[in-house]
Chain A
């Protein structure tokens, strides 16, 4: 299914773009239009991750950086230390409102796109995400260690990624990239930012929302478990009793 979606013929893409350009005539003033193949990702019972196609056009040649940010949460990062021979969590740092998902894609390495301050201001690139620690008494060196660890762990879970070079220009002005969401993607409202960069300056930026949510039976179970926790617990017990009884009957010694 993913493959098929990626193999959208150029014609169809052009038609989509045409419709998009008519629809967003005002956007041309900024020199950039872009949109997603889907604005909603449904997590169903068989969800194994998905791809969303981002495509767009620029009015003049420039560089494109795409930033996908997931819902923001407070995240505790803990470090283990040895106590009497056993490794146990000891120091911790809580980052306030950090994106639980972050992906950066661009048509070439970030260093060639724009100077560091520009990238930092727009939080383009894993190293330019702003991290605010709730604990005030932490040194910069120590904080940097926790930030490194956080990014490393998120990358390991495929929730943070920097796939530079993955934005491709098809002609001089049409571009596209594939946004990859793994099966463990957090649910919530995502923002997809597209930056048009020329001569080291951000000329224009456009943000599209992307909603990732559970649907179907899985969603029902999750909502029920959270909204009616006591009833869920009682039902879980009841179903265990019934299932256990049936299991015992089916395989009763003959």
Chain B
């Protein structure tokens, strides 16, 4: 059954949207990541224009993060104070991201910027995760005991304006969460991701938060940041397609349930290894698209839509 997406101005198969939502939802339920980094490239791949894919995916992530945060909230797995500081940076960063998006789109460089940023960030995160999970698996084989804790870089402890975060049992500089939030915010504005794949490792290794509050706090901040992106993209570019977001969510809610069940059965380090492979696969695919000579060197952009 075809449905006409009113903002994207194209008709797509409903089953394709539900399938995409379901498949990405399955993976995100399995690995506990948002899945925006998979969904935005997939939407572009099926023919949704990048501006609409990015903006609508932000709206989709708001919804899926709400589903996720409730469970963590009940389990007291959200550090609201830390979330607030992340948000200060996140709001500023995502606003800057959307603004930058507009400029790049006007210059015709947004597709390139999206692909490059994806390649860089997915590449880095994928390689780091792969290294870590391989090391863990090897160590387990040798029975060498638990892994060494990864230390915070030393310069981080010398940052000024220290604040106590009771829930995370930390006494750190306010600039740390604000800075991390800002970086992830820029990516959310530009790439249509929640940024969990950057945020979660940054919270663990850079900020040093206990893992019990990491996922919940990250979801908490992602809700507000993607809501901000949704609002700004709506106002500035009119690119949020609620119909598209709705069908992705409908598929995603169901997919996530099955994904979570499968994920619960796999050992943690194997899960991380699989996720690393997935992240790297997306990065390599996007890199190849940038490097291989395209079928058509030319592209069109119709200016000034009808009013």
Which residues of A approach B to under 8 Å, CB–CB? 43-48, 71, 73-81, 85-89, 92, 94, 100, 146, 149-150, 152-154, 156, 183-184, 186-188, 214, 217-219, 221-222, 225-226, 229-230, 232-237, 239-241, 243-245, 247-248, 250-253
Contacts and interface: CB of A to CB of B under 8 A. Distances in A.
Given A149-B296, A247-B253, A183 B10 contact: yes
20 contacts: A46-B4, A74-B303, A80-B294, A81-B297, A86-B112, A86-B291, A89-B299, A149-B296, A153-B300, A154-B300, A186-B302, A217-B6, A229-B238, A230-B234, A232-B238, A233-B230, A243-B249, A244-B67, A248-B66, A252-B71
Contacts of B111: 89
A130 B269 CA distance: 63
B63 A247 contact: yes
Given A239-B242, A243-B249, A244-B249, A153 B299 contact: yes
A236 B67 contact: no
Contacts of A236: 59, 230-231, 234, 240, 242, 245
A104 B252 CA distance: 44
Nearest to B62: A240
A76 B301 contact: yes
A73 B305 CA distance: 8
A37 to B, nearest CB: 22
Contacts of B136: none
A247 B67 contact: yes
B298 interface: yes
Contacts of B257: 251
Given A230-B231, A240-B62, 20 more contacts: A73-B303, A73-B304, A74-B304, A76-B301, A78-B299, A79-B297, A86-B116, A152-B296, A184-B11, A233-B231, A233-B232, A241-B62, A241-B66, A243-B63, A244-B64, A245-B66, A247-B63, A247-B249, A251-B67, A251-B253
Contacts of B233: 233
Interface in B271-307: 290-291, 293-294, 296-304, 306-307
Report whether over half of chain B's contact residues are helix, strand or loop; otherwise say mixed.
Answer: helix
B66 to A, nearest CB: 3
Contacts of A241: 62-63, 66, 223, 227
Interface string B227-258: 10011111110101011011001001110110
Contacts of B253: 247, 250-251
Contacts of B252: 247
Contacts of B208: none
B68 interface: yes
Nearest to A184: B10
B143 interface: no
Contact of B227 (A154, A156, A225, A240): A240
Contacts of B246: 239, 243
B90 to A, nearest CB: 15
A84 to B, nearest CB: 10
Contacts of B11: 46-48, 183-184
B230 A240 contact: yes
A87 B293 CA distance: 7
A74 B301 CA distance: 9
A53 to B, nearest CB: 22
Contacts of B297: 79-81, 87, 149
Contacts of B59: 236-237, 240
Contacts of B1: 46
B2 A150 contact: no
A243 B251 CA distance: 12
B15 interface: no
A88 B112 contact: yes
A121 B277 CA distance: 60
B156 interface: no
Given A184-B9, A240-B63, A225 B108 contact: no
B62 A237 contact: yes
Given A43-B4, A85-B291, A248 B68 contact: yes
B152 interface: no
A241 B242 CA distance: 12
Given A73-B303, A78-B299, A237-B230, A89 B63 contact: no
Contacts of A245: 66-67, 70
